[in-house]
């Protein structure tokens, strides 16, 4: 007998009473992966929109993403505190103009409680696979504890969450402690030991000044010198914190200033070199002021245009590497031996510990290999073959109802990624609304729309300093394409994602189910 019912497998959109997000086998309207700024923010956005039918799966035991994991000494954000927070959750009592890791982590914990998200998070749950189920027109999300299904999958796994360890010959033979900045070993006492640091990026320039006074000798392997400008960090005293709490408009004003003073610089990185000259002057003066030795200055002067790699903010980096117990080696590492590191200069340096500040697997994030879309296409394979691309940095053709937070070409060289995320939250909400209104199961971006969009992005970004500034960085993939950064202003990004453009998508109809169809089986099984 044929049953003419349409999609009986979906529950009501709003489950205000469903508070326990912990039962495998449950179907949700939305499953979110990760609890960094992306996952927590998306969950809050759903709740604020009256959508309670979601669960957040988190591999760790607390929220926080990179701000939970990066516990290296000196970890601090390079975007000002008032701007590096949700617009809907200002924090009046930031203690510094640039937020410390602990404060950001606590902020995310506070937001989780303030917006009542914690009850919707299942901690200690690692997503091992996510498959688009063509029969049921939903995502199947696998974890070691069981499976969840969802109409929409939001991946908030973070672009900078998978540490990149260089493949150096002999690395496994090293006999002392060896770790990455993102998995810092506080159980290792570096006091009085000889240590090597590989890398001079954002992370290394923060932890080197902290460990330099502790160690006996520090060898820093600098393959490429970074451009460094003054940090201009300052404490925000209790009187200002109280003022911001009493007069929220003052804090909003500061945030606006921080936002627009960054936003006006964007053309300096994407087109005009005039603004870059100003930045270069500032960095050069900083170097001259902090490094009196002209020969050392030469060794610390980057051989590429400022902005090509991320510009680093530090008042402590140059002083630290000039200390008598520090040796700056201007090469990469060619070999690691049981008790030593050999630089590309061929010199062996004996060390007791090695710390890698070697960045993250941004364009080769292993998380992509766990996502399988229509026709069994694996996202990791797909991107390895075609290059990493998405539509509006959020959706990917062939992966219906998959929403990538800070997906391809959403990164920023100049402003707060939280602004980008909030634009994406609005877009996802728009998609969910459109699914209800049009009574469709899912949206899949049209391949032609995605291709045209990416052609535009790549055409624009080719002229940027990130592509043409003469450096190699995590912004570029192995082919030299830039699948990571947004080539315009954040205002433009916000406007482009303001409204969900359903016409750019193929609508996947809700399934007409029959008595013997899989959907009916699930429905009769009490799904």
- Measure CA of the first residue to CA of the last residue in the chain; give whole Å: 21
Of the listed pieces 76-84, 135-143, 257-265, 492-500, which binds ligand NAP according to CB under 6 A?
Answer: 76-84
Q: Report H helices in 212-316.
A: 238-246, 248-263, 266-270, 274-290, 294-300
153 binds ligand NAP, rule: CB under 6 A? no
Min separation Cβ 118 and ligand NAP, Å: 26
394 binds ligand NAP, rule: CB under 6 A? no
Cα 80 vs. chain centroid, distance in angstroms? 17
- Residue from 227, 405, 235, 206 nearest 316 by CA: 206
201 binds ligand NAP, rule: CB under 6 A? yes
Cα distances from 378 to residues 44, 381, 382, in angstroms, run 30, 5, 6
Min separation Cβ 66 and ligand NAP, Å: 8
Min separation Cβ 117 and ligand NAP, Å: 24
Min separation Cβ 111 and ligand NAP, Å: 19
Question: Among positive and negative, which fits the CA dihedral 285, 287, 291, 292?
Answer: negative
Interface of this chain with ligand NAP, residues 78 to 117, rule: CB under 6 A: 78
194 binds ligand NAP, rule: CB under 6 A? no
Binder of ligand NAP out of 34, 156, 158, 359 (CB under 6 A) = 359
Interface of this chain with ligand NAP, residues 162 to 191, rule: CB under 6 A: 166, 181
121 binds ligand NAP, rule: CB under 6 A? no
21 or 412: CB nearest ligand NAP: 412
Beta bridge partners of 194: 217
CA distance linking residue 366 with residue 77, whole number of Å: 25
37 or 360: CB nearest ligand NAP: 360
Q: Answer yes or no: are the C-beta atoms of 487 and 460 closer than 8 Å.
A: yes
The count of residues interacting with ligand NAP (CB under 6 A) is: 24
Min separation Cβ 269 and ligand NAP, Å: 14
Query: How many C-beta atoms surround the C-beta of residue 33 within 10 A?
Result: 27
Per the document, the length of the chain is 527
Q: What backbone torsions phi and psi does residue 142 show, to the nearest 5 degrees?
A: -100, 140
Cα 44 vs. chain centroid, distance in angstroms? 18
Interface of this chain with ligand NAP, residues 203 to 242, rule: CB under 6 A: 203-204, 221, 223-224
Interface of this chain with ligand NAP, residues 268 to 327, rule: CB under 6 A: 310
Q: Contact positions toward ligand NAP, by CB under 6 A?
A: 76-78, 160, 166, 181, 198-204, 221, 223-224, 310, 332-333, 357-360, 474
């Amino acid at each position: 007998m044929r049953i003419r019912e349409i999609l009986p497998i979906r529950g009501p959109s709003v489950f205000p009473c469903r508070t326990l997000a912990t039962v495998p086998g449950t179907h949700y309207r939305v499953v979110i992966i990760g609890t960094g700024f992306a996952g927590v923010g998306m969950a809050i956005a759903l709740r604020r929109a009256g959508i309670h039918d979601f669960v957040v799966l988190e591999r760790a035991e607390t929220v926080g993403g990179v701000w939970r994991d990066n516990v290296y000494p000196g970890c601090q954000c390079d975007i000002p505190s008032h701007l590096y927070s949700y617009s809907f959750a200002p924090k009046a009592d930031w203690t510094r103009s640039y937020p410390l890791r602990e404060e950001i982590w606590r902020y995310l914990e506070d937001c989780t409680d303030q917006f009542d998200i914690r009850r919707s998070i299942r901690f200690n749950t690692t997503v091992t696979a996510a498959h688009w189920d063509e029969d049921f027109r939903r995502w199947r999300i696998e974890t070691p504890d069981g499976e969840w299904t969802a109409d929409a999958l939001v991946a908030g796994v973070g672009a900078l969450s998978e540490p990149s360890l260089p493949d150096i010959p002999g690395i496994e033979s090293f006999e002392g402690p060896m770790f990455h900045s993102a998995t810092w070993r506080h159980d290792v006492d570096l006091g009085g030991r000889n240590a090597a640091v590989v890398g001079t990026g954002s992370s290394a320039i923060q932890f080197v000044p902290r460990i330099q006074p502790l160690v006996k000798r520090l060898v820093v392997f600098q393959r490429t010198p970074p451009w460094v400008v003054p940090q201009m960090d300052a404490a925000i005293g209790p009187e200002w914190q109280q003022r911001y709490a009493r007069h929220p408009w003052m804090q909003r004003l500061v945030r606006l200033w921080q936002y627009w003073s960054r936003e006006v610089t964007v053309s300096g990185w994407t087109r005009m070199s005039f603004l870059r000259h100003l930045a270069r002057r500032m960095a050069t003066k900083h170097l001259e002021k902090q490094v009196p030795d002209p020969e050392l200055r030469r060794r610390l002067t980057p051989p590429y245009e400022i902005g090509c790699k991320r510009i680093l903010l530090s008042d402590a980096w140059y002083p630290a590497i000039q200390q008598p117990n520090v040796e700056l080696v201007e090469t990469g590492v060619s070999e690691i031996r049981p008790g030593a590191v050999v630089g590309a200069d061929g010199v062996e340096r004996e060390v007791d510990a090695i710390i890698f500040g070697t960045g993250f697997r941004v364009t080769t994030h292993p998380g992509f290999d766990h996502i399988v879309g229509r026709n069994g296409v694996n996202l990791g394979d797909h991107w390895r073959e075609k290059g990493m691309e998405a539509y509006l940095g959020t959706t990917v053709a062939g992966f219906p109802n998959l929403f990538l937070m800070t997906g391809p070409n959403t990164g920023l060289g100049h402003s707060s990624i939280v602004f980008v995320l909030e634009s994406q939250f609005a877009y996802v909400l728009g998609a969910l609304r459109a699914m209800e209104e049009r009574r469709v199961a899912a949206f899949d971006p049209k391949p032609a729309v995605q291709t045209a969009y990416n052609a535009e992005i790549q055409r624009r970004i080719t002229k940027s300093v990130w592509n043409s500034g003469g450096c190699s960085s995590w912004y570029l993939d192995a082919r030299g394409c830039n699948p990571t950064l947004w080539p315009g202003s954040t205002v433009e990004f916000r406007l482009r994602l303001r409204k969900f453009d359903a016409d750019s998508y193929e609508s996947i109809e809700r399934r007409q189910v029959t008595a013997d169809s899989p959907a009916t089986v699930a429905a009769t099984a009490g799904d």
